[in-house]
Amino acid sequence: MILLKMDEAKAVGQLRNYRMASLLGCCYEGEERLLVPEFIYA
Protein backbone atom coordinates (compact mmCIF):
# COMPACT_ATOMS: atom_id res chain seq x y z
CA MET A 1 0.00 0.00 0.00
CA ILE A 2 2.76 2.47 0.91
CA LEU A 3 4.70 1.59 -2.24
CA LEU A 4 1.72 2.67 -4.33
CA LYS A 5 1.49 5.97 -2.45
CA MET A 6 5.22 6.61 -2.97
CA ASP A 7 4.77 6.09 -6.72
CA GLU A 8 1.90 8.59 -6.69
CA ALA A 9 4.04 11.13 -4.82
CA LYS A 10 6.89 10.67 -7.31
CA ALA A 11 4.48 11.22 -10.21
CA VAL A 12 3.19 14.45 -8.64
CA GLY A 13 6.78 15.58 -8.04
CA GLN A 14 7.57 15.21 -11.74
CA LEU A 15 4.74 17.50 -12.86
CA ARG A 16 5.93 20.85 -14.19
CA ASN A 17 3.74 23.91 -14.69
CA TYR A 18 4.43 27.58 -14.03
CA ARG A 19 1.29 27.79 -11.87
CA MET A 20 2.21 24.85 -9.63
CA ALA A 21 4.72 24.63 -6.81
CA SER A 22 7.21 21.79 -7.23
CA LEU A 23 7.04 18.91 -4.79
CA LEU A 24 10.30 18.72 -2.85
CA GLY A 25 9.57 15.62 -0.81
CA CYS A 26 7.12 13.43 1.03
CA CYS A 27 7.00 11.44 4.25
CA TYR A 28 4.89 8.48 5.36
CA GLU A 29 4.99 7.39 8.98
CA GLY A 30 2.14 5.26 10.26
CA GLU A 31 -1.09 7.09 9.50
CA GLU A 32 0.70 10.43 9.06
CA ARG A 33 1.37 11.68 5.53
CA LEU A 34 3.19 14.85 4.54
CA LEU A 35 3.88 16.46 1.16
CA VAL A 36 6.56 19.17 1.06
CA PRO A 37 6.05 21.75 -1.71
CA GLU A 38 8.55 24.48 -2.58
CA PHE A 39 7.93 27.89 -1.06
CA ILE A 40 6.73 30.47 -3.58
CA TYR A 41 6.89 34.09 -2.54
CA ALA A 42 4.38 36.25 -4.41
How far is Cα of residue 4 from the mean position of the Cα atoms in its chain? 13
d(CA 12, CA 5): 11
pLDDT digits (tens, 9 = 90+) for 1-42: 455 577 877 787 787 777 777 878 888 788 888 888 888 776
Q: Please report the pLDDT score of residue 4 as a whole number.
A: 56
Q: Please report the pLDDT score of residue 10 as a whole number.
A: 79
Domain extent listing, the chain: 2-37
R_g of the chain computed on alpha carbons: 11
pTM to 2 decimals? 0.53
